[in-house]
Structure 1
Amino acid sequence: MKTTTIFSFLLLLMVSSVTFAQDELQITAKDSIVQSSWIFGVGLNAVDDSGNVFDGIFNVGEEWNIVPFPSRLSIGRYFKSGLGLEAIGTYNQYKEGNIIDGEINLEDISYFGVDGRVTYDINKIIGETGWFDPYVGVGAGYTDANNKGRGTYNAVVGFRTWFSDRWGLDFNSTGKWAMSQSEGATNHIQHAAGVVYQFGIEKGLSQRGEEKLELLAAIEKEKQRQTDSINEVNRLKDEALLAERLKKQQEADALAAAEKAKVDAINKRKTEIKSRIENLGNVYFGLNSSVVNYSSKKVLDSLVQVLEEIPTLTLKITSHTDSRGTSKYNDWLSQRRVDKTKDYLLSKGVPAEKLTTEAYGETMLLNECDDNTYCPEDKHAVNRRSEFVIIEF
């Protein structure tokens, strides 16, 4: 009994270990790092040009000069090797009453600086920390301070701390040594703090991530070896299913083609019949008349012939008037015209079920000749008509 209990415990421990190992082998965001990017920064800078930098390094009130608005812009390109190239522009103002070069400053004096530098990511030596990036660097620039322009040799130490792949904070201090101290140009130190934004990012795996990736590749290779045999067995089955689908698709395509041909034939026939009827022309009436005259009878006789040749054809007869007269009168007149047109066709032996009628009065004029427009008689005559619309064929 005791042996069984121990064996069960060991088995449970092995299963738990395998599960934990599989979870550990997941490639996550923690296994990736930013390897190269552009970084844009904006922030504040403080200049200590007291001439007593290291003795009063934290004497902010009397020796640091700061303006209360963003006064530093930077743009840099950072490479996989850990090296970075950065350009920086700063503005500041020596405050009246602060210590400048060991003396009390008597007025506000503008400060301008343009610098370029090369930095190195210390994480390349100590190992990636993900959120904390210390760096050192050297460079050169030009500074106009205390109304004295001078080229400078620069050395910087600082760090960036990241909240995400794109946003972070940058803190650094730069010592600036004048290339020439003629005309009283001195050395000074410049501190900076600001927000940085990272773009043009190229990411890669950390060392830990690379190790995980190699192990996952080995596991995947073994899984592939096991599934290859299953895939081979299923291949023939898939080919048979594909052939069946292809056959069904071909049958469906054939049915669709036949249906399309049928529809095309019907539409072609309808177009031909419509064209034939339209070519006969309309039935026209005299002013205030519903009499089917000689020329209109010739049109209707030709229409009878079409109806006899196409036994399935049914039509709707529509009759109209011109705009002269009242609407009520024109409604009555168009009804008489449609009735007279239908009666003539019935008298020629056309079955009544092949004909329907509708009277529109003056509501469907074919031209501009309405109640507000003067038109000659020949234009009004165009609107006094009966027309024929195909219902079925």
Structure 2
Amino acid sequence: MKTTTVFSFLVLLMFSSVTFAQDELQITAKDSIVQSSWIFGVGLNAVDDSGNVFNGIFNVSDEWNIVPFPSRVSIGRYFKSGLGLEAVGTYNQYKEGKIIDAEVISDNISYFGIDGRVTYDINKIIGQTAWFDPYVGIGAGYTDANNKGRGTYNAVVGFRTWFSDRWGLDFNSTGKWAMSQGEGATNHIQHAAGVVYQFGIEKGLSKRGEEKLELLAAIAKEKQRQTDSINEVNRLKDEKLLAERLKKQQEEDALAAAEKAKVDAINKRKTEIKSRIENLGNVYFGLNSSVVTSSSKKVLDSLVQVLEEIPTLTLKITSHTDSRGTSKYNDWLSQRRVDKTKDYLLSKGVSEDKLTTEAYGETQLLNECDDNTYCPEEKHAVNRRSEFVILEF
């Protein structure tokens, strides 16, 4: 009993561990980082231009100069490689009584700086963190300090800490070395702190996210291998059934092909018979006449031969008139014509059950020669006819 209880507990624990591991392997927002962006910043700056460089670096009351309003603005573009390009503009004011260039000044003096710099994200070396973003950089600029303008070589060290993908704080210190020491221009240090806003963001996976992605890919590959194995087993099981279906389909295709060949042969034969009868031509009549002429008898005699050669052939004889005369008269005339045509064929030994008739009067003209159109006699003659339609063959 105790053994069973322990075993059940271990199974439950293992199941919980697998479930937890699967949850851990999900790619989430925490696994993504900002890889490139624009960063805009606004903040304060403090200048230490006492002339003693690093001596008394924290002597804020005597050596640091700060204005009580936003005095620094920056804009920069930061790339996937870790490099960044940044432009910085600063304003400050040396306060009366502060130590500037190793002397205590007696008046307030304005400070202006415009700098450009290249920075590098140290996280590219030490590994990404979600909130701490240290960097170093070098650059150059122009500074007007203590009423002395000078170009400067700059070196910066700092870090940003992020509250979200867009908002954070930036803290940095910059050493500025005068390109020329003429007119008493000296080196100085500038500290800065401010709010930064990130936009134009392009995100990617962190190292942890990439590791998760690789593991997920490996799991997916293994699942696919298992699925392929199952599919292969199922395929082998289904081979016999597939072969039977294929054989049945082939038999059905063969029957369909034979049926199609039969239908095609019938249609071909019908087309040949129809063409043969059409080539004989129609039986034509004179104006207001139902007499079968000698030329028409030749057509009918040829038709008799066709009927004798094809015992299964049955025809419908249709007779027509031209448009001249009343409709009632033309109906009567076309009936006489169809009767005369049938009588001639019967007189030649054609069985009556092979023939049916229908009279159309002037309702099926072959041209434009109606009651409202003038036509010469040869055009009207085309409409005075008996035709033959295949019913069976």
> Is TM-score (shorter-chain normalized) higher than 0.5?
yes
Deviation at 1:97, TM superposition (A): 1.2
Structure 1, 378-387 or 81-90: larger mean CA deviation: 378-387
Could you give the per-residue CA deviations for residues 354-392 of structure 1, whole angstroms, max 9, x where no partner exists?
A: 999999999999999999999999999999999999999
Determine the C-alpha separation between the residues in 2 that align with 1:127 and 1:264: 79
| Counterpart contact for 2:143–2:152, Cα < 8 Å | yes
Determine the C-alpha separation between the residues in 2 that align with 1:384 and 1:374: 16
Distance 1:334 1:235, change over 3 A: same
Deviation at 1:246, TM superposition (A): 27
Structure 1, 175-184 or 11-20: larger mean CA deviation: 11-20
Q: What TM-score do you get using the length of structure 2 for normalisation?
A: 0.57
Could you give the per-residue CA deviations for residues 145-191 of structure 1, whole angstroms, max 9, x where no partner exists?
A: 01100000111110000000000000000000001000000000000
Determine the C-alpha separation between the residues in 1 that align with 2:338 and 2:326: 18
Asked whether 1:7 is paired with 2:10, we answer no
Could you give the per-residue CA deviations for residues 301-353 of structure 1, whole angstroms, max 9, x where no partner exists?
A: 99999999999999999999999999999999999999999999999999999
Distance 1:312 1:169, change over 3 A: farther
Structure 1, 324-333 or 148-157: larger mean CA deviation: 324-333
Q: Which runs of 5+ in 1 are unaligned?
A: none
Distance 1:91 1:342, change over 3 A: farther
Could you give the per-residue CA deviations for residues 116-137 of structure 1, whole angstroms, max 9, x where no partner exists?
A: 1111111111111110001111
Deviation at 1:15, TM superposition (A): 0.5
Deviation at 1:58, TM superposition (A): 1.4
Deviation at 1:53, TM superposition (A): 3.4
Deviation at 1:7, TM superposition (A): 1.4
Q: What TM-score do you get using the length of structure 1 for normalisation?
A: 0.57
Q: Counterparts of 1:287-306 in structure 2 under 5 Å?
A: none
Deviation at 1:9, TM superposition (A): 2.0
Determine the C-alpha separation between the residues in 2 that align with 1:3 and 1:24: 31
Deviation at 1:57, TM superposition (A): 1.1
Deviation at 1:211, TM superposition (A): 1.4
Structure 1, 326-335 or 50-59: larger mean CA deviation: 326-335
Deviation at 1:104, TM superposition (A): 1.1
Larger radius of gyration: 2
Q: Which runs of 5+ in 2 are unaligned?
A: none
Distance 1:298 1:218, change over 3 A: same
Determine the C-alpha separation between the residues in 2 that align with 1:100 and 1:272: 119
Structure 1, 361-370 or 103-112: larger mean CA deviation: 361-370
Structure 1, 347-356 or 15-24: larger mean CA deviation: 347-356
Determine the C-alpha separation between the residues in 2 that align with 1:327 and 1:171: 110
Structure 1, 181-190 or 120-129: larger mean CA deviation: 120-129
Determine the C-alpha separation between the residues in 1 that align with 2:151 and 2:117: 13
Deviation at 1:2, TM superposition (A): 2.8
2:367 is matched with: 367
Where 1:41 maps in the other structure, the secondary structure is: strand
Distance 1:283 1:15, change over 3 A: same
| Counterpart contact for 2:135–2:157, Cα < 8 Å | yes
Deviation at 1:295, TM superposition (A): 67
Aligned residues: 393
Where 2:137 maps in the other structure, the secondary structure is: strand
Determine the C-alpha separation between the residues in 2 that align with 1:143 and 1:73: 15
Determine the C-alpha separation between the residues in 1 that align with 2:62 and 2:355: 108
Deviation at 1:87, TM superposition (A): 0.6
2:355 is matched with: 355
| Counterpart contact for 2:45–2:71, Cα < 8 Å | yes
Where 1:43 maps in the other structure, the secondary structure is: strand
Distance 1:287 1:218, change over 3 A: same
Structure 1, 200-209 or 356-365: larger mean CA deviation: 356-365
Structure 1, 365-374 or 208-217: larger mean CA deviation: 365-374
Distance 1:240 1:10, change over 3 A: closer
Where 1:55 maps in the other structure, the secondary structure is: coil
Deviation >4 Å, runs of 4+: 221-393
Determine the C-alpha separation between the residues in 2 that align with 1:376 and 1:170: 106
Determine the C-alpha separation between the residues in 2 that align with 1:106 and 1:14: 77
| Counterpart contact for 2:53–2:187, Cα < 8 Å | no
Deviation at 1:218, TM superposition (A): 3.2
Determine the C-alpha separation between the residues in 1 that align with 2:45 and 2:30: 33
Could you give the per-residue CA deviations for residues 268-316 of structure 1, whole angstroms, max 9, x where no partner exists?
A: 9999999999999999999999999999999999999999999999999
Deviation at 1:73, TM superposition (A): 0.7
Structure 1, 16-25 or 361-370: larger mean CA deviation: 361-370
